[in-house]
Amino acid sequence: MSAPFATARLVLLAAALATSAAAAPPVAGRVTGVVRLAGPVPPPRPPIAAIVDPDACGPTIPDESLVVDGGGGVRDAVVVLRGVGAPAPAARPEALIDNTHCRFAPHVQVVTRGQTVRVRNSDPVLHNTHATVVADPEVPIANLALAIQGQTMDLSRRLLAKLPEGHETLVRIGCDVHPWMRGWLVVLDHPYGAVTDAAGRFAIADVPRGTYTLAVWHEQLGRGERPVTVRDGEAATADIELHAP
């Protein structure tokens, strides 16, 4: 092979590699962090006396409205990444609201608009799932009576019919039979949301590069936000503090 021909082949190969690299899609990044309570860590809240159906519920129910670990991490805070120009979310697995030991489990969860949401009664007593959009004025969604242990009902169609236009909707879940029972849904039009774990940690995956607003909500501590910038293939760390009311 002549030297000029070999050189030409190398030039063509280098050009092809460069074109391939340029055409490769960017690698998504992620956002991780911790939601903390500003100031001293409060003592655990006392349990709630079960004044209805104590044989099935137990004598007391844990107060889950504010749970903070020893390092100040806040459990059950909802973290939402705002401003991501994302396509419609792919199908997600069914979300379940379980009535178990006279509590709603999970206490807080994030779902996407149109996702299947079911309610189950795992207790041997009557529960009702009273769902309401938190707005001004509030919008009733459904009141589902679950009288039989193991019974389930689909909340999806009722929820979708009552959701207002918008990217974030807060839904309160209650039980009129057991007034201490409280749960929450945050409904999004996109997949970029998460609920903090017992240490206040969260992670939001598959985030395209860009600068966004990280918004946080907690049922007792209210709201907070901060900017965050995500680069291709990197994890951006974005901790945020909430103040006691």
Contacts of 134 (CB under 8 A, 6+ apart): 170, 171, 172
Q: Which of the residue ranges 11-20, 142-151, 154-163, 187-196 would you say has the lowest mean pLDDT?
A: 11-20
Q: What's the whole-model pTM score?
A: 0.87
For residues 236 and 31, is the Cβ–Cβ distance under 8 A? yes
Over the stretch 51-74, which tens digit does the pLDDT of each residue have?
Answer: 999 999 999 999 999 999 999 999
Q: How confident is the model at residue 20 (pLDDT cuts 50, 70, 90)?
A: very low
Over the stretch 106-132, which tens digit does the pLDDT of each residue have?
Answer: 999 999 999 999 999 999 999 999 999
Query: What integer best gives the mean pLDDT of the chain?
Result: 90
Over the stretch 228-239, which tens digit does the pLDDT of each residue have?
Answer: 999 998 999 999
For residues 206 and 89, is the Cβ–Cβ distance under 8 A? no
Over the stretch 77-102, which tens digit does the pLDDT of each residue have?
Answer: 999 999 998 665 667 899 999 999 99
203 pLDDT above the threshold of 70: yes
- Map out the domains of the chain with their CATH numbers: 27-242 (2.60.40.420)
